[in-house]
């Protein structure tokens, strides 16, 4: 049965109709993957001993 008092939900990120953008599980998973990838990029130590100083 239809419930006209319940607002319609539609996720603009994945197109799901059971949740809103803010509650999108795919968006949260993608954001966690991106954060983890950024953490790994910046985690490599810089080898300053091989550089020559003027």
The string of pLDDT tens digits covering residues 27-47 is: 999 999 998 888 766 555 556
pLDDT for the residue numbered 27 = 93
Question: What's the rounded Cα separation, in Å, for the pair 38 and 8?
Answer: 35
pLDDT for the residue numbered 26 = 95
pTM of the model: 0.51
Q: Which of 15, 28, 17 is nearest to 7 (CA)?
A: 17
pLDDT for the residue numbered 8 = 75
pLDDT for the residue numbered 44 = 56
Which comes out higher in pLDDT, residue 12 or 4?
A: 12
């Amino acid at each position: 049965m239809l419930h006209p008092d319940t607002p319609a939900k539609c996720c603009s990120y994945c197109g799901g109709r059971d949740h809103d953008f803010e509650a999108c599980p795919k968006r949260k998973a993608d954001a966690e993957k991106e954060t983890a990838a950024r953490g790994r990029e910046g985690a490599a130590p810089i080898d300053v001993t091989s550089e020559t100083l003027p």
